[in-house]
Amino acid sequence: MSEALFVVNAGSSSIKFKLYRVAGTDAAPMVSGALDGIGTRPRLQAKDETGAVVIDRSFTAEEIAKPADAQHAISDFVAPLLTEHDLIGVGHRVVHGGPHYDHPVLVDDEVLKTLEGFIPLAPLHQLTNLDPIRVIRERRPDLPQVACFDTAFHRGHPEVCDRFALPRELYDDGVRRYGFHGLSYEYVSGALRELAPELAHGRLVICHLGSGASACGLIDGRSQDATMGFTALDGLPMGTRCGALDPGVVLHLIEQKGMSAAEVGHMLYHDSGLRGLSGLSNDMRELLASDDPAAAMAVDYFCLHVAQAVARLAVTLGGLDALVFTAGIGERSPEVRARVCARLGLLGISLDEVANAANETWIDADGPGPSVLVIPTDEERMIALATLRLLRATA
């Protein structure tokens, strides 16, 4: 029987999962799927390694009302696939590892309790990340489960990049700049190490531009500074999230406009960013295709803020050797990359238009400036490899 690993990436309205075949210290995906539309129009879909559909099943909103129901349905689907495999563990994406976890951890009762303590730091995400862990513990208490944190990669930031300019005691209470997207940054910097080790040792900015977006500055593969802060609202404008905002606006909305904290929270997380700016869509493809001036302005705002973030991070790093684009927009939009890079001539950045248009890996023009690359991210693979490493080390 060959060994298998299961990876779970749970959000509030969907759970993505992948089943990996393990060979030594490597893992290759066998089945990838997602259960979307939790509580609205739940649908479980999965494909095998050849791309063939292995399940496509809809449920009623009552059947799959919450993430725990979704995990039961996914576990029911996966169990029969495991008759010829020895499932050695499950790796989970957990958004918040708090101030101290700087590496993945094996989940036991005490760890689970600690992670529940971080729910107030990320109320939208942490609870839904922990539900699948609980469901799997009920069904298979013997199975090792590993939590891989989005914040862990950033815990080594210098203090000056970890603080807000707020009273000191808030820092001790956990009000810090946690970062996020750390699994993606760790994967991409590892992929760069394979491609060009000398660049991976240098000063690197990675722009993770998807529905959620952030940028991270690294030296020798270690995160030094990132645009996301205490929550995943800070930094770059995103599909529906506002990005960095004058905190006085929040006070104004509550004190002058009479909005409740919940209403403001909903606006900042769901009605802002590209959606708010354009009044049309949170989807970059739709905005790029539109001839509405508000759509053009939203794209321009996004590109300006990404370029500003690269310049800011280059200051933290003391220079820039390479810039990497990743995630949906970063990997697939030559136009956004070109418009970001056009603003970065002052850092010596210059693109090869043909290579950029073809989404090639190396997209900078020949010359002395920083290298510019496109590297697809794979957070699930990062979770699989980190989980495997921890299981092997503790076996």
Nearest-angstrom CA–CA distance, 295 and 282: 10
**Is 108 assigned a catalytic role?**
no
- Identify the sign of the CA torsion 359, 360, 366, 367: positive
The residues that bridge with 226 in the sheet, in sequence order, are 216
Q: At what angle do helices 123-139 and 109-116 cross, to 10 degrees?
A: 160
Window contacting ligand ADP (CB under 6 A); options: 104-112, 124-132, 205-213, 243-251? 205-213
- CB closer to ligand ADP out of 224 and 240: 240
* Smallest distance, ligand ADP to C-beta of residue 389, A: 24
Which 285-304 residues touch ligand ADP, going by CB under 6 A?
A: 285, 288
Q: Does 270 bind ligand ADP (CB under 6 A)?
A: no
Which residues lie below 8 Å from residue 20, measured CB to CB, with a gap of 6+?
Answer: 4, 5, 6, 7, 27, 28, 29, 30, 384
* Smallest distance, ligand ADP to C-beta of residue 312, A: 22
Name the active-site residue from 36, 69, 131, 150.
150
The residue whose two tokens read 């030094």 is 224
Q: Does 236 bind ligand ADP (CB under 6 A)?
A: no
* Smallest distance, ligand ADP to C-beta of residue 150, A: 12
The residues that bridge with 16 in the sheet, in sequence order, are 9, 34
Among 132, 328, 369, 370, binds ligand ADP (CB under 6 A): 328
Q: Does 352 bind ligand ADP (CB under 6 A)?
A: no
- CB closer to ligand ADP out of 252 and 285: 285
Q: Does 329 bind ligand ADP (CB under 6 A)?
A: yes
DSSP per residue, 136-186:
HHHH-TTS-EEEEESSGGGTT--HHHH--SS-HHHHHTT-S-----HHHHH
* Smallest distance, ligand ADP to C-beta of residue 270, A: 14
Q: Does 333 bind ligand ADP (CB under 6 A)?
A: yes
Nearest-angstrom CA–CA distance, 121 and 103: 18
Q: Which residue has its beta carbon closest to ligand ADP?
A: 328
Compute the half-sphere exposure of residue 66: CA atoms within 13 Å on the CB side of its CA: 8
Is residue 393 classed exposed, middle or buried when 0-12, 13-18 and 19+ CB atoms within 10 A define those classes?
Answer: exposed
- CB closer to ligand ADP out of 284 and 383: 284
Q: Which residues contribute to the annotated binding site for Mg(2+)?
A: 9, 379
Q: Which residues contribute to the annotated binding site?
A: 9, 16, 93, 208-212, 283-285, 379
Q: Which residues contribute to the annotated binding site for substrate?
A: 93
> Given the rule CB under 6 A, which residues bind ligand ADP?
210-212, 239, 283-285, 288, 327-329, 332-333
